[in-house]
Chains A and B, each alone.
Chain A
Amino acid sequence: MSVIHMSASDLLRRLQSGELSAVELLQQYLNRVETHDASVHAFLDVAREQSLERAAAIDRRRARGESLGPLAGLPVAVKDVLCTAGWVTTCGSRMLVKFTPPYHATVIQRLLDADAVLIGKTNMDEFAMGGSTENSAFGGTRNPWDLSRTPGGSSGGAAASVAAGMVPLSIGSDTGGSIRQPAAFCGVSGLKPSYGRVSRYGLVAFASSLDQVGPLGRTAEDIALALQVISGHDPRDSTSANRQVPDYRGLLRQPLRNLRVGIVPEHYGAGLDEEIAAAVRDAIDVFRRQGARIQEVSLPHSRFAVATYYIIAPSEASSNLARYDGVHYGYRTEEAAMVAELNEARRELIRSGQTAAAEDLESPLVRMYRRTRAEGFGPEVKRRIMLGTYALSAGYYDAYYLKALKVRRLIRQDFDSAFQQVDLILGPTTPRPAFRLGEMVDEPLSMYLQDLYTVSANLAGICAMSIPCGITRGGLPMGLQLHAPAFQEERLLQAAHAYQQATDWHRRCPDLC
């Protein structure tokens, strides 16, 4: 078996035993990137030299018998939404095309402290807004299972890089499904931690009450390994939870006794692909055969989740993205042209006798903000900013934003009462398998409606995971979504691990391999 098909956990064992050096391992992955990334475009930047140097340094430290971190020598890719000191972080946006962060995100620092080798930064929808990676300012990513299809998004590059065997582990972010949906589309595992489990310090903000960083990999064990490293309290993120991080990897093999699994009738409405419905039912049977008790639970407000999400997330985004003003960092419009344009508009108004309108024209500073943002942001980011600004504006705040916050409470309460009856909720991650590139580019609402199964976990702040549970007749992966109460990640991982012991969907690779 080539290293490309091995799990991160197997690779670490080989690195530890000396069977494999970090440099040899990295070289194999770099070769994969070289061969396949021209067609997949999972990476925005590959740190060939730096990663080779780092791998060599880890090999030397190992040879000297030094104690090494839990990911020592393992290549890891990170979504380009995480700040890396001295290494350009674009967030998939023209706005940040030359932005070099002055500090590391906490997650990056923890990966480095664990002696991981950061191989590159992965492609994403601009500012993590989207579900197809087509909103990247630097060109989309293709699904390794079918290059005419999307890998999902916004962590499309992160999922595709693992699926294509270009890296064993990657880090993404999830605001409304951006780890789980691409994991499902690309046939890999991905976990969105509970809100507060992982520090958001240095994560470029999209919607701060929903954003979480999480891992993507092949197996539940690999996810446990990565989650262990990136989790924990961080004084630099005041929303990070000050609570102990369980030994995820150690707990993985603990059998789940008397497991009560909830299935949700609301998940099986119109719009769910039949093959996915059947694959999810089969997956639930696997749990049943392992002794789980299956029962129905209702999430009556789940049909309001997408509407709630598409008020709250854009509202928070419109506020967060106000920082891109062309002053402190990032792109700024060409000033001379901007001032000339403004003067010309003023002269034109005066010429036609509209002196009041000429007086009302914005100042050069405001025009600079507007031009900078009009040129720096892509269409989806503009839509979300506009939507959020509208929902928060005077006269609409109560009808939209406040209303959505109240429905958010109802969605959370649905989960609270469901988890009184069951330990886990199982269902589909997505209503359809990976769609074709370009299929929904001009239909934002259709695209938003694809998020119906994933946004609830973010609104409620609970943890959720997607694992592969089948392949369609057309050869596309399908994802099973597991939900657990907040800070019960170990339960997700134990259940996913038990499922992966009984099935081999997570070992399937695209032909590209």
Chain B
Amino acid sequence: MPLSRGEVDKVALLSRLVLAEDELDRMTAQLQQVVEYVRLLDQLDTTHVEPMAHAADLTNVFADDEVQPSLERERALANAPKRDEECYRVPAVLGE
């Protein structure tokens, strides 16, 4: 089941990446190789195996419902690439 360039381009959009033409060729070939390799798992019958999402022997961990100090706004905004007083600034979301 070969990966098409179009499919890889769509994954790039979903990944919020843009690939240049030559990058897209290289990425398609490399992903193809890896995807083929991981199909190795198809050799195993896992019908009755419980999936294991993590190794921690925990289910839900709850904190007491108490207000705790958190990061002050100034410090949270300090690394923002662009800000507007108390807000993060982003390019227009809706049309011009």
Residues of A within 8 A of B (CB): 98-100, 102-103, 195-196, 208-209, 235, 238-239, 241, 301, 303-304, 307-308, 310-311, 318, 322, 325-332, 335, 338-339, 362-371, 373-374, 377, 379, 382-383, 385-387, 389-390, 393, 400, 402-410, 412, 444-445, 448, 459-462, 486
Contact = CB atoms under 8 A, between A and B. Distances in A.
A406 B78 contact: no
Interface string B27-62: 100110111011111101010011111111110010
Contacts of A304: 40-41, 44
A383 B49 contact: no
Contact of A373 (B17, B42, B46, B51): B17
Given A195-B54, A328-B80, A387-B34, A406 B49 contact: yes
Nearest to A371: B18
A363 B88 contact: no
Given A318-B15, A368-B91, A406-B49, A328 B79 contact: yes
9 contacts: A238-B61, A328-B88, A365-B90, A368-B90, A383-B27, A387-B31, A404-B38, A405-B53, A409-B51
A462 B49 CA distance: 20
A205 to B, nearest CB: 13
Given A327-B90, A363-B93, A393-B11, A374 B53 contact: no
B76 interface: yes
Given A332-B82, A379-B23, 20 more contacts: A209-B53, A209-B54, A310-B37, A310-B38, A311-B38, A331-B81, A335-B91, A364-B91, A364-B93, A366-B16, A386-B27, A393-B11, A405-B52, A405-B53, A410-B49, A412-B52, A448-B34, A460-B55, A461-B55, A462-B55
A383 to B, nearest CB: 6
B14 interface: yes
Nearest to A314: B34
Contacts of B12: 386
**Band of interface residues on B:** 35 or more
Contacts of B92: 363-365
Given A403-B41, A408-B52, A461-B56, A330 B11 contact: no
Contacts of A377: 17
A209 B57 CA distance: 12
Contacts of A100: 78-79
Given A373-B16, A445-B37, A461-B55, A386 B31 contact: yes
Given A327-B81, A393-B11, A406-B49, A400 B76 contact: no
Given A209-B54, A239-B58, A369 B16 contact: yes
Nearest to A368: B91
A385 B49 CA distance: 27
A52 B16 CA distance: 44
A219 to B, nearest CB: 28
Given A307-B37, A373-B16, A406 B50 contact: yes
Given A99-B79, A330-B79, A371-B18, A410 B11 contact: no
B78 to A, nearest CB: 7
B50 A409 contact: yes
Contacts of B11: 386, 389-390, 393
10 closest cross-chain pairs (CB), A and B:
A461-B55, A329-B79, A405-B51, A332-B81, A406-B46, A364-B91, A209-B54, A238-B61, A409-B52, A406-B49
Nearest to A324: B16
B51 A365 contact: no
B63 interface: yes
Given A304-B41, A310-B38, A327 B88 contact: yes
A370 B16 contact: yes
A307 B16 CA distance: 25
A472 to B, nearest CB: 28
Nearest to A194: B55
Most buried by A among B34, B38, B58, B88: B38
Contacts of A390: 11, 31, 35
Contacts of B34: 310, 383, 387, 444-445, 448
A403 B46 contact: yes
A444 B37 CA distance: 12
Most buried by B among A209, A374, A462: A374
Contacts of A338: 91
Contacts of B15: 318, 373, 382, 385-386, 389
